Structure 1
Amino acid sequence: MVEILIPGAVTLKTLAKIYWQQCPAALSDTAFPRMERAAARIEEVAAGNAPVYGVNTGFGKLASIRIEAADVATLQRNLILSHCCGVGAPLPPEIVRLIMTLKLMSLGRGASGIRTEVVRLIQAMLERGVLPLIPEKGSVGASGDLAPLAHMTAVLIGEGEVLYQGHPLPGRAALEQAGLAPISLSAKEGLALINGTQVSTALALAGLFRATRALQGSIVTGALSTDAAMGSTAPFAAEIHDLRGHQGQIDVAGALRHLLDGSEIRNSHVDNDERVQDPYCLRCHPQVSGACLDLLRQAARTLEIEANAATDNPLVLSDGEVVSGGNFHAEPVAFAADQIALAVAEIGAIAQRRIAMLVDPALSFGLPGFLTPKPGLNSGLMIAEVTSAALMSENKQLAHPASVDSTPTSANQEDHVSMACHGARRLLQMTQNLFHIVGIEALTAAQGIDLRGPLRTSPVLNQAITSLRAEVPPLTEDRYMAPDLSAATDLIHSGALVSDVAQHLPDVF
């Protein structure tokens, strides 16, 4: 099913569907008249005598050099070839699909001056699975994601490389096998395709979508940990959180109340618990995860705006004037990526403390050391906890803000840059680390609840345990653990662990 996009009005839910399900996308027919008017205006400018940046001039520091009308097409081709300077591993196919979708959305605003033939070729590539190989590194997130977008654009003109039907191929050969033909770029079209924040934004959106799944998983595993530790539900009382007023905190506390409602374990000690207060990792779960939820929601608002924006340069305004500006500067995306990174690091940090609490017999309120029925002979979840600590520490190192690190480029013409692209790209690694941490908490908390038998957790949380136990049996004695960790991680990454309880969890967007 092709997702039809109305430029300026595409929701994050639609983009998340495209990311997770790899759906092809195409612009609504209503977008094409605007694009055609802007393309006609660029054609007029290219035929005129007045210098207009990127249409009949050089680029960047070379903008003062006038280009003759006969050389305009060569100018655009040279621009693409010279800017294919990316390095590193190719971006994942799901990211490339999202980049191309975002580029369609930007061009569809009708301010870029690009012919509809170019847009239709991108749509056909998405529909037929012709995905350019885009190296992951090379953008500083200003003047657009120039190098990575040039690698995308190179395929449109029959250059570059492609992943097609699972195999890398030269761009021209892949287009031919898919029944498509390369195009020659007209005035400004190369610039329209490589100026823009689509790579940074796609990476940040992927980080947001993945962080959302991890956060929802951590709310469930945090509730499981609370029950496994015989923690109190009193700190989740609604009025406590209403008195503070932060919506994320209110929402997480409400989710925890629903998840733990009806737990036999909780009811067994609600009136005779000698502990006055639980550790912060349990008691302050709404405050910490709620603050993370608020950060993700703020980042989501920024990224939804950016995803729908026209971000190339120059732009064709509604009165026909062609004006050079700076919408390609990715500072909003860089800030959003930094916010997501902070949230990801903190979700993992508090989850890791719950894991550490449960495996420690001094803190776990009667559970055996490292959650094995025969500690000593068996090490149980000892090293799973160590792995979670290693991942938590790595995420804390990766969370350093990228947006504060600028360096001048292009002979000081581009003298302040956002670093949004690598600030967003690290989110893939950070969220993968977080999937592992939350998966380890799922194993740890479920093992703790099993050891509380015959008492049972709540009916809702028991659904989550059932999903886990379909993949990972209880740990009765030591075994080769890596497959258990991998299976639990997959349940968090796919959302399968929380699918049966999703109605009790807060949304980010």
Structure 2
Amino acid sequence: MDLGAPLTAAHLLNAAAPLPVLVGPAVLDRIEQGRAYLRTVLADDERPVYGAKTGFGALVGFAGRPSEADQCDNTLAHLGAGQGPDLPLDIARAALLVRTWSLAQGLSGVSPHVVSALAAMFATTFVPAIPRYGSVGASGDLIPLAYAAQALRGRGHAYLDGVRMPAAEALAAAGLTPLELDGRDALALVNGTSVTTAATALALSSVRASHRASADLTCLLVDVLGADPGFLDPRLITAFGHPGATDVATRMRALLDGAHPSGDRALQEPYSIRCSPQLLGAAEDALRYVDGVVAADLGGVSDNPLFFPDDDLVAHGGNFFGQPAAFAADVLAMVTASLGNLAERQLDLLVDPSRNTGLPPMLAAGPGQQHGLQGVQLATTAFIAEIRRNVLPASTQSLSTNLRNQDVVPFGTQAALRAYDLAELLRLLCGSLALGLRQAVHVGGRRPTAPRCAALLDALADVIAPVDPDRPLDVDVRMAADVVTGQMW
């Protein structure tokens, strides 16, 4: 990718693997201009610059260390307080790509070699080891990004080719040189919401894939059961008045084109079928809001202070405050819970002989001698319970810290990482429902009459054998999730 072009969520998805990152002449020029301006400001004893001449956070009223190299250590050492398991490697790499793009805008006064070194890192499999817990997302993701900066300096730990080792060893094996930083460089690396933004963006991508899969699987359920798709009538949906529902219903009608109702179902289906376009449409409207927040975060500069040479301005403020992503990630978690609930209820309908048009209980090929989807349904109950338990909004949990300097905090990091975790559970719920639909046809459900629904069933059948006899189904659920969320059909 080119740091002179807009950063997109697709770039973050690609950052987990080696990724060429171009630092073009125009990018270097604006970084150098910002750095030269910083030098001018630092030479003026009358102009305060937070973090370059001062202590940090609540200690801003005290002078920092006189040596620039020492000021780097002054920035990073006290932030080595993270705990818990390491962040997933895709989040760590994506976070550094967000940070690199922000620094490349030339407003942070960072040294050009810092951006060049970060770009070089992306061509390798190097990943800093970053502990999960420690950020409140208020003055940026200070603690996790400090671990990233230290790893780039050869301190702490890192991964190379997925193997955890001392960071100095990983740098050497990757052919990278330990990064040299002064105080401003160090602060610029940590004083942004890049972990929060990256985790929210990756979670959004996963939830969007599951949202599409949920609409597709609902259509397959309708066709396999022989239900009447009249609940998708465009006149009905248009009267509802919500754009998300209109768009989702249009997609579902296209998938069900050619479907023929069996005539064996009741006049009105359960809400998990009949109200699906309204539920999925509301989710679409909410996801569009999250789309906008993520796009703004990826296109913005998250740091403090910012340097504007043309205006001779050093602007001290709060562009490191992750409230937008905190709200967005909380919305994402709520969407995940509703989509997960829909998938779990649809699977419950599918395995129940009183509601599935006479298919055997638990879709077992020989009930009693076999148990079909019984274990899978138990697991889905656990998945949705875990999602529900974690949906409490993080963005409303503000706690004052840092001697009341950070007297309001967004907790965006917690919201984003939670959304990332729940997105994987939603994916597994979609895989569980997909496996159930594949099995339903094996035990007597009709083959879909809509060509596109039949194609989805065939894609599942190509990789998943019928459950006959019983076998462990954990791998099958994951394979089914890959098919439906990856649109491999």
TM-score tier (shorter): over 0.9
Deviation at 1:27, TM superposition (A): 3.9
> Given that residues 75 and 183 in structure 2 are in contact (C-alpha distance below 8 angstroms), is that contact kept between their aligned partners in structure 1?
no
> Given that residues 224 and 449 in structure 1 are in contact (C-alpha distance below 8 angstroms), is that contact kept between their aligned partners in structure 2?
no
State the AA in 1 paired with 2:58.
Answer: K
* 1:106-505 equivalences in 2 (<5 Å): 106-263=102-259, 266-267=260-261, 269=262, 272-273=263-264, 275-317=266-308, 318-452=310-444, 455-492=447-484, 495=486, 498-500=487-489
Deviation at 1:422, TM superposition (A): 1.3
SS of the residue 2:67 aligns to:
helix
1:52 has 2:41 as partner? no
User: What do you get for the CA RMSD once the two structures are aligned?
Assistant: 1.9
Structure 1 residues 18 and 243 mapped into 2: Cα distance closer, same or farther (>3 Å)?
farther
Deviation at 1:447, TM superposition (A): 2.1
- C-alpha distance in structure 1 between counterparts of 2:149 and 2:163, whole Å: 19
State the AA in 1 paired with 2:329.
Answer: A
- C-alpha distance in structure 2 between counterparts of 1:107 and 1:274, whole Å: 60
SS of the residue 1:5 aligns to:
coil
State the AA in 2 paired with 1:164.
Answer: L
Deviation at 1:98, TM superposition (A): 0.5
- C-alpha distance in structure 2 between counterparts of 1:349 and 1:28, whole Å: 47
Indicate the residue corresponding to 1:31 in structure 2. Answer: 27
Deviation at 1:330, TM superposition (A): 0.3
Q: Which piece of structure 1 moves more, 317-326 or 135-144?
A: 317-326
Deviation at 1:357, TM superposition (A): 0.6
> Given that residues 435 and 492 in structure 1 are in contact (C-alpha distance below 8 angstroms), is that contact kept between their aligned partners in structure 2?
no
Indicate the residue corresponding to 1:505 in structure 2. Answer: none
Deviation at 1:219, TM superposition (A): 1.4
Deviation at 1:187, TM superposition (A): 4.2
Q: Which piece of structure 1 moves more, 170-179 or 305-314?
A: 170-179
Aligned residues: percent identity? 33
Deviation at 1:91, TM superposition (A): 1.3
> Given that residues 72 and 182 in structure 2 are in contact (C-alpha distance below 8 angstroms), is that contact kept between their aligned partners in structure 1?
yes
Structure 1 residues 152 and 26 mapped into 2: Cα distance closer, same or farther (>3 Å)?
farther
Indicate the residue corresponding to 1:503 in structure 2. Answer: none
Structure 1 residues 183 and 420 mapped into 2: Cα distance closer, same or farther (>3 Å)?
same
> Given that residues 18 and 24 in structure 1 are in contact (C-alpha distance below 8 angstroms), is that contact kept between their aligned partners in structure 2?
no
SS of the residue 1:25 aligns to:
coil
Structure 1 residues 27 and 210 mapped into 2: Cα distance closer, same or farther (>3 Å)?
farther
Indicate the residue corresponding to 1:82 in structure 2. Answer: 78
Structure 1 residues 43 and 186 mapped into 2: Cα distance closer, same or farther (>3 Å)?
farther
State the AA in 2 paired with 1:481.
Answer: L
SS of the residue 1:188 aligns to:
helix
Q: Deviations over 1:16-63 (max 9, x none)?
A: 4445x6634344432221111111111122222122211211111111
Q: Which piece of structure 1 moves more, 84-93 or 367-376?
A: 367-376
Deviation at 1:12, TM superposition (A): 2.9
Deviation at 1:485, TM superposition (A): 2.4
> Given that residues 213 and 484 in structure 2 are in contact (C-alpha distance below 8 angstroms), is that contact kept between their aligned partners in structure 1?
yes
Q: Deviations over 1:215-265 (max 9, x none)?
A: 1111111111112222220001112112223221112111111111123xx
- C-alpha distance in structure 2 between counterparts of 1:72 and 1:430, whole Å: 43
> Given that residues 45 and 55 in structure 1 are in contact (C-alpha distance below 8 angstroms), is that contact kept between their aligned partners in structure 2?
no
Deviation at 1:365, TM superposition (A): 1.7
> Given that residues 449 and 457 in structure 1 are in contact (C-alpha distance below 8 angstroms), is that contact kept between their aligned partners in structure 2?
no
Q: Which piece of structure 1 moves more, 70-79 or 250-259?
A: 70-79
Q: Deviations over 1:310-363 (max 9, x none)?
A: 111011024131121001010001001001101111101011111001111111
Structure 1 residues 347 and 172 mapped into 2: Cα distance closer, same or farther (>3 Å)?
same
Deviation at 1:454, TM superposition (A): 6.1
Q: Deviations over 1:107-140 (max 9, x none)?
A: 1121100011000111111112221111111100
> Given that residues 224 and 446 in structure 1 are in contact (C-alpha distance below 8 angstroms), is that contact kept between their aligned partners in structure 2?
no
Structure 1 residues 380 and 56 mapped into 2: Cα distance closer, same or farther (>3 Å)?
same
> Given that residues 46 and 187 in structure 1 are in contact (C-alpha distance below 8 angstroms), is that contact kept between their aligned partners in structure 2?
no
SS of the residue 1:470 aligns to:
helix
State the AA in 1 paired with 2:175.
Answer: G
State the AA in 2 paired with 1:312.
Answer: D
Q: Deviations over 1:447-469 (max 9, x none)?
A: 22344466443221222222211
- C-alpha distance in structure 2 between counterparts of 1:171 and 1:18, whole Å: 19
- C-alpha distance in structure 2 between counterparts of 1:462 and 1:18, whole Å: 35
Indicate the residue corresponding to 1:40 in structure 2. Answer: 36
- C-alpha distance in structure 2 between counterparts of 1:223 and 1:32, whole Å: 51
Structure 1 residues 480 and 10 mapped into 2: Cα distance closer, same or farther (>3 Å)?
closer
SS of the residue 2:409 aligns to:
coil
| Unpaired stretches in structure 1, ≥5 consecutive residues | 501-509
Structure 1 residues 322 and 210 mapped into 2: Cα distance closer, same or farther (>3 Å)?
same
| Unpaired stretches in structure 2, ≥5 consecutive residues | none
Q: Deviations over 1:147-166 (max 9, x none)?
A: 00001111232322111133
Deviation at 1:213, TM superposition (A): 1.3
Structure 1 residues 330 and 387 mapped into 2: Cα distance closer, same or farther (>3 Å)?
same
> Given that residues 76 and 189 in structure 1 are in contact (C-alpha distance below 8 angstroms), is that contact kept between their aligned partners in structure 2?
yes
1:6 has 2:4 as partner? yes
SS of the residue 2:488 aligns to:
helix
State the AA in 1 paired with 2:63.
Answer: R
- C-alpha distance in structure 2 between counterparts of 1:351 and 1:383, whole Å: 16
Indicate the residue corresponding to 1:507 in structure 2. Answer: none
- C-alpha distance in structure 2 between counterparts of 1:247 and 1:125, whole Å: 43
> Given that residues 142 and 418 in structure 1 are in contact (C-alpha distance below 8 angstroms), is that contact kept between their aligned partners in structure 2?
yes
